[in-house]
Amino acid sequence: MVEPYLRQSALVHRGLSRAAAGAMSGAGIVLSERPFRAMVNLRGEASDAGFLSAVRAAAGVELPLQPNTTQRAAPVTALWLGPDEWLITAPAGEERVLVPALRASFGERHAAVIDLTESRTVIAVSGAHARDLLAKGCTLDLHPRAFPVGACAQTGLARAGALLHLVDEAPTFEITILRSFADYMWVWLADAAQEYGVALRTE
Amino acid sequence: MLLIPCPFCGPRDESEFGCGGEAHIARPTDTDRLSDADWAAYLFMRKNPKGVHLERWVHRLGCRRWFNLARSTVSHEILAVYKMGDPPPASVAGQEARRT
């Protein structure tokens, strides 16, 4: 567990809160970091009704069983990662409650709970040109027909593995990325977004 | 580029995948009595067909699951996708046999 007073976001060295003071109007892309989000990786049998109800009891969210979809029960979101793998996200600090609750709920059941909170960060890409920006580095079809609000996908973005999640109609994509890739991804996004006009926002 | 139908995530670009080479190669069980030639055959000898090839692929940047895929090495057409441990579908198995 990282002590709160030592905790630094993956992009702290970029001084985003100072940079974000600039003008917002006319920007086609708004970038921000959403740091410290609680992330818990969950493995278990989707065909086991007891496993699904144990997750419901501990995290208060239904696990999505359809590929590339999410389920949200504010403030918790469950993202489909694979046929027996999910990512549970929650507001900062919640991992301290979520992880023990899930472990207790599973008991002897064949399931795994792994706290990934400190290993990843979230970069939010918002604005009218968000799809155009991601299309420069991603092979997925991000058209609303193929990738509606609530869809998620693990894919490659600018040659790095990333988890995309479309959270609203703005559109706002949340890019969950390994901490060690965060700086690379931020620089890539900021550079690729130049032609649309970039604004930064603090969360 | 290939558009590979991951059995779990749906169709994705080839760049998200890794190819694990020929499928259905079973490790010999009587390893104590295996000759060097048999070891070499197991370790190194692979089919290189002009036609249907059964391959293992992993969805590296996606769900990270392995699966089997039947692909034509001539047209790159993907003829079947099936799970690890499953035998090739009958339609493809026939074509596999024909080329040897």
**Rg, Å, chain A Cα set:** 17
Determine the Cα–Cα distance for residues B1 and B3; give it in Å rounded to an integer.
7
Cβ pairs A/B, distance under 8 A: 36
**For residue range A173-190, what is the model confidence (pLDDT) as tens digits?**
999 999 999 999 999 999
Q: Which residue in the set B8, B15, B61 is minimally distant from A82, CB to CB?
A: B8
pLDDT for A3: 66
Determine the Cα–Cα distance for residues B53 and B59; give it in Å rounded to an integer.
18
Q: Which CATH architecture has domain A38-117?
A: 2-Layer Sandwich (3.30)
Q: Where in chain A is the domain with CATH 3.30.1360.120?
A: 4-35+119-200
Domain that holds residue B89: 3-25+35-99
pLDDT confidence band for B58 (50 / 70 / 90): very high
Q: Which residue in the set B10, B13, B64 is minimally distant from A67, CB to CB?
A: B10
Tokens of B33: 């009595």
Determine the Cα–Cα distance for residues A167 and A124; give it in Å rounded to an integer.
9
CATH number of the domain enclosing B59: 3.30.2270.10
> Does CATH place domain A4-35+119-200 in 2.30.110.10?
no
Nearest to A94 by CA among A60, A66, A126: A60
More confident residue, A18 or B10: B10
**Alpha helices for chain A (secondary structure H):** 16-19, 49-59, 95-106, 130-135, 179-192
Q: Which residues of A touch B (CB under 8 A)?
A: 67-68, 81-83, 85, 139-140, 153-156, 161
**For residue range A81-115, what is the model confidence (pLDDT) as tens digits?**
999 999 999 999 999 999 999 999 999 999 999 99
Q: Which residues on chain B are in Cβ contact (under 8 Å) with A156? A: 13, 15-16, 61
Only one residue has tokens 């900062």, namely: A92
Instruction: For chain A, give the mean pLDDT.
Output: 93
pLDDT for B96: 65
What value of ipTM does the predicted structure carry? 0.86
Tally: H helices and E strands in chain A: 5, 11
pLDDT for A1: 62
CA distances from A77 to A38, A74, A112, A178, B55 (A): 10, 7, 18, 19, 36
